[in-house]
Copies of this chain bind each other. A is one copy, B any other.
């Protein structure tokens, strides 16, 4: 069993995850987190060195949560095509997202890019491994004869992720999930074209 301290720390991190995803790293302040957790400064600073330390661990958790969740969704499906479809379906509702505030990978990427080199590198890793897994999946599909060899796994994997991530932001800001439906449909039918 986790000690009291470990549970409290975990609770702080989990409570902070949606706050960071909505407000961004430089948009959140300690008082926001204290208000949300109903804890006090003494307590919070007992678990984290400073705001930077807290931010880093919150982002770590956010990235882990979303990655695990996507992997789990993909894992469910049996065929390669099914797995790719499951990936696409994961974000069919860009308004009510798994972690409130959109996709934490993209959100963090945008902010970390020019400001937080350490966090930028973490996000880059997530994108790179995600890309690699998806591309690997597509390649496997080609190998086992599920897809035509004309499909470029690396390019199509990038296209899938880029368009979904961009689509989420656009839908959120425009306040409608509808374009996402069309996008997913289009990407699915694009993959269908390579199906054998």
Q: How many copies does the complex hold?
A: 2
Q: Is A165 an interface residue (CB 8 A)?
A: yes
CB atoms of B159 and A127 under 8 A apart: no
CB atoms of A165 and B170 under 8 A apart: yes
On whether A158 and B173 interact (CB within 8 A), knowing A101-B113, A113-B101, A115-B23, the answer reads: no
A22 vs B107: C-alpha distance in the bound complex, in angstroms? 14
Minimum distance in angstroms from A46 CB to a CB of chain B? 27
Minimum distance in angstroms from A118 CB to a CB of chain B? 12
Interface positions of A from 95 to 129, Cβ below 8 Å from B: 101-102, 106-107, 109-115, 120, 123-124, 127-128
CB atoms of B169 and A158 under 8 A apart: no
CB atoms of A155 and B173 under 8 A apart: no
Interface positions of A from 132 to 179, Cβ below 8 Å from B: 152, 154-156, 158-159, 161-167, 169-170, 172-175, 179
Among B111, B113, B165, B166, contact of A161 (Cβ-Cβ < 8 Å): B166
Minimum distance in angstroms from A130 CB to a CB of chain B? 10
Q: Is A183 an interface residue (CB 8 A)?
A: yes
Interface residues of A (CB under 8 A from B): 22-24, 26-27, 101-102, 106-107, 109-115, 120, 123-124, 127-128, 152, 154-156, 158-159, 161-167, 169-170, 172-175, 179, 182-183, 185-187, 190
Q: What are 8 A-B residue pairs whose CB atoms fall within 8 Å in the complex?
A: A22-B114, A24-B26, A102-B113, A113-B172, A156-B186, A159-B186, A163-B166, A166-B166
